[in-house]
Each structure stands twice: as structure tokens, then as C-alpha cells.
Structure 1
Amino acid sequence: MEMAEIPAGEVELRDDRRKIKWTAEIRPFLLARYPVTVGQYDAITEQFPPTSGANLRPIVNVSWHEAISFCNLLSQKKGLKPCYSVSSDGEQVSCDWESNGYRLPTEAEWQYACKAGTTGYTYGEINKIAWFAGNSGGNVHEVGTREPNPWGLYDMLGNVWEWCWDVYDEKVYGTYRIFRGGSWAEEERGCGATCRRRSHPTFCIDDLGFRLAKSL
């Protein structure tokens, strides 16, 4: 799990539905250079992955709950303290932010790392940095085959959406969680650093995966 060290800083987020903006402080953290792949997922879970394809393609058709479970399992296998505690019914999940185990990035961490000091909607020319509906041929692609952002992170835009830790709007959507980044199936406008989507944590689809983070 090759990871990049992301420096401290701050990032402005916005919710166009509620027409609000807010600023989040970012502590230094580690973020995987690539989304979790089919090969990595299969090796850690020791089961047939819920998708077919080459080992270097991002894992898809994984729910938020499955992504959380993968983080804990990988942490245990690496001798690290798992970040997540899950209630007996599986519905309540809490995160120990001081743990040295693997976790999902927060939405703020994800956007901050995606932009990597840039100021535009994307961190480069979309055809060079992302697999999206205009160039993907209707398929997911191996990770790392487009240009990285300035901090050496690949596929932050396009290829697959990525689950984040955060609840979207609990009062309206309950337990819905956020995912970011766009995918091979999205038009160009859906592959931007500030584009937000959400769904139920049991939701699975063929263009949604995840990327690993670690606290420092």
C-alpha cells in the first residue's frame, strides 16, 4: 500500500444543495497513491472479490461497510491498531483518529489531497488525468495509467468514485455516506475536486471503490 504524506493545511468545502460553505483544518496524514485494487482486496480478504477483472484495476461493487471492514482487517494483518469500532448490529461505527491503523479519508482530507495546492475544478487537463465517459470506452481501467496530481496521487478524479468517512446530512439522509472523485462512467462535469455524491452505506455499484488513509 504505497502512500504519500499529505501536509497540514486547510480546505474550503461547499454543499450546493444547502448552499453553505465551510473551512476544515487538515492535520498531516498519509493517503494511498492509488485506489485499492482487485488484487489487494482479494489478498487481504482471502475471498473472491465482488468483481471480475485484472488485479491492477480498482476494486468496485464494495459498500461503505465492506470498505470499513477491509481497513480493520488490513490493520490487524499488519499488526496495527484498527481504527473502527462497529456495534453488534453493524449499524454504528466509530473511528479512533489516533489509531495507527488504516481508515478511509474524511471528505475534507480527500478534497484537500485531490486539489494538491491547485485552485481549479480539476488538477490538470481531464483527458490526461482521468478515465471518464469521454475516454474510458465504458470500462474501468488499471490504476496509475493517467497522470498524477502534484502530490503524486493517481486516479483522484475519474476511474472510480471513492468512499469517504463522512455522513452526508444525517437529518435528511440518515446514515448516507459521501463518495468523491467521479468515475469512468461520468461525464466531465462529474469528475471534479468539489463534486459530491452520497448513498446508503450498503450501496454497491460497478464504478465505486475506495482509497486508504492513515493518521500521523
Structure 2
Amino acid sequence: MVNKFLKGEVTMMKAKIEANTYQKFISEIQDFYPKKTFGYFFSKEDEEIATDYYIFSEDSRKEENVMERFNKFGKYYENNLNAGFLSSIQESVAIEKYIIKNKLKKIGVFHTHLRHPPIFTKVDAEFHPSENFWHLIISLRNAQKPTIKIFEILSNVNFNEIPVILCDQSRNIVSIKGYGRQKVLNSSLLKMSINNQISDCFTIEDFAKCGELFISKTMITNEQYKRVFKNHQYNIGEEKFPVVNITWYEAQYFCEVTDTELLTKEEWELYADDQLDPFDYEHHNEAFMKVALYSENSKNQLQQVATLKPNQYGLYDMQGNAWEWCACFESKTEVANTKGGSYFAFPEMCRKTVDQLEDKDYFARDLGFRVKRRNV
């Protein structure tokens, strides 16, 4: 399975959902949290718009043979028993009978990611094959701010992200999600108290010279963040941990106060030093575990920065531990790139080619940032 988007390819499949159905679906999925969910979207036989859905209740995940099948992918499934879902044969048969009886048809399949962004992975392809349907992934990594992506499965090796088209009951298009987002005022910045006594929260040793840039060797830590924003709170012993649950606006504000900048997507990719084989999906990767904290070696927890070896540019945790916000120079754009994967991530999510767009007011327990300077 090649984890990529086919840019510019004409999409034949359209993911149309009735707007009321869509809102009801999101609300109900949130009510299920922290339970993993899986199901189908239905339309009438003569239509191609989802007007109903079904959430499976019988999960075979904990059956011994099913657990073995999941666990072969790595420690993520051993460490998280609510990760992965496999519907029972009995319930699957019952829903097929329901579809026939009510003259419906399946047009979409969905499942939740409880810790990951809505990224389509090899595991998704194996457990939820859906070449005949569009595939919706709803991420509850931040349960209050669910994020959704829909994919068209073009073959067993390629997939393409497609927009969510919402329609009213008269089948008129009312919204196209993923092609423009509503601006949300980030009021948390107004509450941030700047430490006026600070001269600089960095030392020259905090930066590595990368070409013409000086990049922070680690992600910004709780300790560094508190030097700037004195009301920042964290647990005792987590001074050297990456500061997380940070929005793009908060990261950008930190940069403005400290005369630093977020890395651009291109700069981040240039200095990521990605050693992952683009066709390797093996979770247990000894070489990768020397430089990256991810699902296989993180013990399911955020770790102190610089726990492992730096990459060839002297940068720590460029892959794994926590996702990193990147710069965005378009003021009208309400999304920004995040890169690198996290302690929950599969290796394929950590590749430097993976772009995970998030709303700028989004935050998560595995999302932080690092900075750069032109001089030190």
C-alpha cells in the first residue's frame, strides 16, 4: 500500500451526505468516545447521497484470533485495547438483511481514530477494504474538535482524498467541507500572561546550525514555554517534555514574543533526515527506533525531549514524540501543516512526505512545535 494522494487525478466518486445526517453522525460518534466505532453510510437504491448510517455494536476485537491479527502490526494494538474494530459475523449478516428489506445500498464506510489524525493507513486498508465505497475517517484525537477526511480507494495501492459534500433535503449543495473553513476566534491568546521579566528563553546551545538557519534542537519544552507565558502549567517532572495541546495561534504568538519563527513545510522536510523506506510498513524498525519515539517504542506516552539520538543535523524528535506545527503565511487560510508523527503514530505517519492539515485553533495532547532563528 503506497500512502499517497494522487494530486490532479480526476475523481469519479463523490461523497455526498445529507447535512442533518452528517451533524447527527458527528454528535453520536462523539457520544461513543472513548469507544472505537465502525459502520456504514446508506442511501436509497436510486440515489448517491447518504441519508442514514449504522454504527456496529458487536466488536470481535478481543477474540484471540482477531487480537493476533491486530497485534502483528505492532505494539500500538497491544497497548491500546480500544484500538481496532472488527464487526461480528452475526451483526454483519443482520445489517445486510436490513439493507435488502429497506431497499437501501451502502455507499460509504467509516471508522474512528481515537489517537491518530484522519490518515488512511495500511491497517485501514487491510481491515476496512472499501474500493466500492468512499471511506470516512473521523479522528477523535481531540474529542471536542473531531476532524474528518474522506478517501476514495482507487486500487489496492492508491487512494485519493475527496471533499465532503453536504446537501439539504432537496439535494441542493449547502457546503463543501475541506475546501474552505470557517474562521474561529482564538480567545485563549487574550488570557496568556507574558512574563515581562524575560530577556530570552533560549541559549545558543539550544540551536543547531542548519544551512543558513538556526533551528531549535528540540521541540519547545514546558520549561521554555513557561519562561514566556508564566501562567502555563504542567506536571512536576515534565519540565523537559514538549509543550503540547498548543494551537497554531499560540505557537505563532510564542514566536512573535521570542523573535523566532515556525519552520516552513519545506524547511521541516529538508532537515527531517527521513530514513524510512517509502515502501516499508513494518512497525518494528530497529534503525528508526534509535531516532524516533513512535507507537512501537514510546510505551504509549509522551517522552522527555532528546531521549534518543539526534538526526544528522543535530535535531531531536523530528519524527515521533509529538507532531509539529509549521508556518503558514496566508492570513486568510485557517489551516496549517503539522509534520512528524507522535508517540501514538505508525511509522508511515512519521514520513516527511506526510502532510496533516489542521485548523489553526486545533490542539491535541500530541501536538507541539519547534522554532528557528536567522541568527543567534
- Structure 2 length as normaliser, TM-score? 0.41
Q: Are 1:138 and 2:300 matched, yes or no?
A: yes
Native 8 Å contact 1:45 1:73 kept in 2? no
Which fold has the larger relative contact order, with Cα–Cα distance below 8 Å and residues 6 or more apart in sequence?
1
Query: Which AA in structure 1 matches 2:295?
Result: A
Going from structure 1 to structure 2, the CA distance change for 1:167 and 1:180 (only over 3 Å counts) comes to farther
- Aligned twin of 2:349: 190
- 1:41 alignment partner, SS class: helix
- Aligned twin of 2:320: 158
Identity across aligned pairs (percent)?
Answer: 28
- Aligned twin of 1:214: 373
- Aligned twin of 1:175: 334
- Aligned twin of 2:208: 4
Going from structure 1 to structure 2, the CA distance change for 1:132 and 1:167 (only over 3 Å counts) comes to farther
Q: Are 1:39 and 2:197 matched, yes or no?
A: no
Segments of 5+ residues of structure 2 without an aligned counterpart are: 1-201, 281-285
Query: Which AA in structure 1 matches 2:318?
Result: M
Native 8 Å contact 1:132 1:188 kept in 2? yes
- 1:166 alignment partner, SS class: coil
CA separation in 2, counterparts of 1:47 and 1:136? 29
Question: Following TM superposition, by how much is the alpha carbon of 1:119 offset from its aligned partner in structure 2, in angstroms?
Answer: 8.6
Native 8 Å contact 2:302 2:343 kept in 1? yes
Query: Which AA in structure 2 matches 1:164?
Result: C
CA separation in 2, counterparts of 1:187 and 1:110? 19
Runs (4+) of structure 1 exceeding 6 A deviation are: none
Question: Following TM superposition, by how much is the alpha carbon of 1:136 offset from its aligned partner in structure 2, in angstroms?
Answer: 1.0
Native 8 Å contact 2:276 2:288 kept in 1? no
Aligned pairs for 1:19-98 within 5 A: 28-49=212-233, 52=235, 54-74=238-258
**1:54-87: CA deviation from partner (whole Å, max 9, x where unpaired):** 100000000000001111122xxxxxxxxxxxxx
Q: CA RMSD in A?
A: 2.3
- Aligned twin of 2:46: none
Aligned residues: 163
Question: Following TM superposition, by how much is the alpha carbon of 1:48 offset from its aligned partner in structure 2, in angstroms?
Answer: 2.3
**1:11-51: CA deviation from partner (whole Å, max 9, x where unpaired):** xxxxxxxxxxxxxxxxx2111000000111112111123x5
- 2:327 alignment partner, SS class: strand
- Aligned twin of 2:310: 148
Q: Are 1:126 and 2:288 matched, yes or no?
A: yes
Going from structure 1 to structure 2, the CA distance change for 1:134 and 1:167 (only over 3 Å counts) comes to farther
Query: Which AA in structure 2 matches 1:130?
Result: A
Native 8 Å contact 1:167 1:178 kept in 2? no
Question: Following TM superposition, by how much is the alpha carbon of 1:177 offset from its aligned partner in structure 2, in angstroms?
Answer: 0.3
Question: Following TM superposition, by how much is the alpha carbon of 1:215 offset from its aligned partner in structure 2, in angstroms?
Answer: 2.3
